Amino acid sequence: QRGTMLAAERVPLCLATMWLLLQSLLLLASCLRSAAAFPKGCYPSEEEGLKTFRCSNAQLTEVPRDIPNDTNKLYLDSNRIPFLPRDAFRDLPLLLELDLSHNAIASVESGAFRGLAEHLHSLDLSSNKLVSISKDTFSNMNAKVNLSNNPWLCDCRLQELIRTVDLVAGSSSGIVCGSSTQEEHVGKAFLQVIADTDFCNVYKKTTDIAMLVTMFGWFAMVISYLVYYVRQNQEDARRHLEYLKSLPSKQRRSEESSTISTVV
């Protein structure tokens, strides 16, 4: 009887052990499945209580999919991403920090950061291949932005962009003219250049001059046509008079009467 009681006690213990083992296997399978879904070189972690997803130096050529949507910090630095499409981060509503530095980003589509405006407080786009970006790309964004070490085209578009974004402290000196309409600006810090040159004002003056030249051109064409038209009519009238003078007087009177009646 005692042996029966011991056996009966072992049954719940075995069931509990098997249940814990099953739970452990399911948890392991879930972790393995999640890890398999991430690109090679990407992994989730927790830093200072914030959920972090790291893909640094992972040879990525695009923004990876299946990033956990509760991610707070996303590191995509030191990859080969050339382009940021519209809504690239729309499924990351809790993102606070986004590091895209040291990539090959040359183009950012309008709406690439849509959905991040409310929470994002740090955006790093330094050390890429950016030449020009529309100011609308960062509309309604409160994040501190790093745009240094890119081959920027120094023009009115960049001037408007710099006025729109909130730059990371100390990063403005790294925004250097990679090209410019004026050769002497190349290689200089943009803030140093616009201290002496207002690109948007120059652009406005150039546009105004172009409009004046166009208007003057049309005016000159109209005047030329009127002058040509008057001279042509005068020439036709002169030839007609000479023709009338060359006719015999009787026929000339008939022609003149015909001309007068035609005019009437």
Q: In whole angstroms, give the CA distance from residue 260 to residue 252.
A: 12
| DSSP 8-state class, residue 136 | G
Taking the whole predicted model, whether its pTM rises above 0.75 is answered as no
What are the domain boundaries of the chain? 37-197, 198-232
Strand residues in 80-154 grouped as ranges (E) = 83-84, 97-99, 107-108, 122-124, 144-146, 152-154
Give residue 191's identity as a one-letter amino acid code. Answer: L
The set of residues, in sequence order, having a beta carbon less than 8 Å from that of 161 and lying 6+ positions away, is 133, 134, 135, 138
- pLDDT per residue, tens digit, the chain (264 aa), is 544 444 445 545 555 566 565 555 545 444 444 444 788 899 999 988 999 999 999 999 999 988 999 999 999 999 999 999 999 999 999 999 999 999 999 999 989 999 897 789 999 999 999 999 998 999 888 899 999 999 999 999 999 999 999 999 999 999 999 999 888 999 999 999 998 889 898 544 444 444 554 555 565 676 666 666 667 677 767 676 666 566 565 555 555 555 444 433
pLDDT of res. 51: 96
Q: What angle do CA 177, 178, 179 make, to 5 degrees?
A: 90
Separation between Cα atoms, residue 129 and residue 17, nearest integer Å:
58
Would you say 129 and 150 are in contact if contact means Cβ atoms under 8 Å apart? yes
Q: Is 80 helix (H, G, I), strand (E, B) or coil?
A: coil
CATH of domain 37-197: 3.80.10.10
Is the dihedral angle over the CA atoms 32, 34, 40, 44 positive or is it negative?
negative
Bridge partners of residue 166, in order along the sequence = 144
Instruction: Round to whole Å and give the CA distance between 250 and 80.
Output: 97
3 state SS of 44:
strand
**Separation in Å, CA 58 to CA 39, 75, 78, 114, 195:** 8, 10, 8, 25, 41
Q: Give the model's pLDDT for residue 34.
A: 45
Identify which of 118, 159, 161 has the alpha carbon closest to the alpha carbon of residue 141: 118
